[in-house]
Amino acid sequence: MNSTDLIALLPYLTLAATSIVVMLAIAFYRNHKLTVFLTLAGFVFSAASMGYASGVLPREVTSLFIIDRYAFFYLGLVLLAGFVVAAISFSYLEKHPGHSEEFYLLLLFATLGCTVLAAATHFASFFLGIELLSVSLYALAAYLRHSNKSIEAGVKYLILAAVSSAFILFGMALVYAEAGSMSFSVIASRAAGPEVHHLPFLAGIVMIIVGLGFKLAVVPFHLWTPDVYEGAPAPVTALIATMSKGAVFALVLRYFTRIDIHQHASLLAVITVIAVLSMFAGNFLALLQTNVKRVLAYSSISHLGYLLVTVLASGVLAQAAAAFYLTAYFITTLGAFGVVTMLSDGTRDADSMDDYRGLVWKRPWVAGVFTAMLFSLAGIPLTAGFVGKFYVVAAGVGSALWMVIVVLAINSVIGLFYYLRIIVVLFTRTGDESPALQRTSRSGSLVLAVLTILLVLLGTYPGPLLDIIKETVLF
Report the interface residues with other proteins, using CB under 8 A: 361, 375, 380-382, 386, 390, 393-394, 397-398, 405-406, 409, 412-413, 416-417, 420, 424, 427, 429, 461-463, 466-467, 470
Query: Which CB sits closer to other proteins, 232 or 321?
Result: 321
Q: Report, in Å, the least distance between residue 470 CB and other proteins.
A: 7
Written as one letter, the residue type at 335 is G
- DSSP class of 9: T
Query: What is the torsion angle, in degrees rounded to the nearest 10, for the CA atoms of residue 242, residue 245, residue 246 and residue 250?
Result: 180
Task: Single out the residue of 243, 425, 388 nearest to residue 303, CA to CA.
Answer: 388
3-state secondary structure at position 31 = coil
Distance CA 297, CA 134 (A): 18
Q: Report, in Å, the least distance between residue 18 CB and other proteins.
A: 35
Q: What is the CA radius of gyration of the chain?
A: 21
How is the chain split among helix, strand and coil, in percent rounded to 5? 80, 0, 20
Written as one letter, the residue type at 323 is A
Query: Which CB sits closer to other proteins, 188 or 382?
Result: 382
Cα–Cα distances (Å) from 70 to 120, 183, 307, 464, in that order, read 11, 18, 17, 17
Alpha helices in 58-181 (DSSP H): 69-94, 101-119, 123-141, 148-179
Q: Report, in Å, the least distance between residue 379 CB and other proteins.
A: 9
Q: How many C-beta atoms surround the C-beta of residue 258 within 10 A?
A: 15
Cα–Cα distances (Å) from 281 to 44, 178, 238, 284, 336, in that order, read 38, 35, 21, 5, 21
Strand-pair partners of 120: 65
Query: Which CB sits closer to other proteins, 442 or 470?
Result: 470
Cα–Cα distances (Å) from 2 to 61, 235, 377, 471, in that order, read 9, 38, 45, 27
Under a CB-based contact definition with an 8 Å cutoff, are residues 109 and 136 in contact? yes
Distance CA 78, CA 239 (A): 9
Query: Which CB sits closer to other proteins, 37 or 427?
Result: 427
Q: Report, in Å, the least distance between residue 391 CB and other proteins.
A: 8
Query: Which CB sits closer to other proteins, 55 or 431?
Result: 431
Q: How many C-beta atoms surround the C-beta of residue 152 within 10 A?
A: 17
Query: Which CB sits closer to other proteins, 200 or 398?
Result: 398
Q: Report, in Å, the least distance between residue 67 CB and other proteins.
A: 26
Q: Report, in Å, the least distance between residue 421 CB and other proteins.
A: 8
Q: Report, in Å, the least distance between residue 32 CB and other proteins.
A: 36
Written as one letter, the residue type at 461 is Y
Q: How many C-beta atoms surround the C-beta of residue 195 within 10 A?
A: 17
Query: Which CB sits closer to other proteins, 59 or 421?
Result: 421
Q: Report, in Å, the least distance between residue 283 CB and other proteins.
A: 13
Query: Which CB sits closer to other proteins, 41 or 394?
Result: 394
Q: Report, in Å, the least distance between residue 164 CB and other proteins.
A: 34
Distance CA 144, CA 154 (A): 10
Query: Which CB sits closer to other proteins, 104 or 361?
Result: 361
Written as one letter, the residue type at 128 is L
Q: Report, in Å, the least distance between residue 444 CB and other proteins.
A: 24
φ, ψ (nearest 5 deg) of residue 10: -50, -45
Under a CB-based contact definition with an 8 Å cutoff, are residues 426 and 356 in contact? yes
Query: Which CB sits closer to other proteins, 271 or 425?
Result: 425
Q: Report, in Å, the least distance between residue 360 CB and other proteins.
A: 9
Q: How many C-beta atoms surround the C-beta of residue 398 within 10 A?
A: 15
Query: Which CB sits closer to other proteins, 356 or 361?
Result: 361
Q: How many C-beta atoms surround the C-beta of residue 28 within 10 A?
A: 8
Query: Which CB sits closer to other proteins, 329 or 419?
Result: 419
Expressed in angstroms, the distance from the first to the final Cα of the chain is: 25
Q: Report, in Å, the least distance between residue 209 CB and other proteins.
A: 29
Task: Single out the residue of 225, 234, 338 nearest to residue 289, CA to CA.
Answer: 225
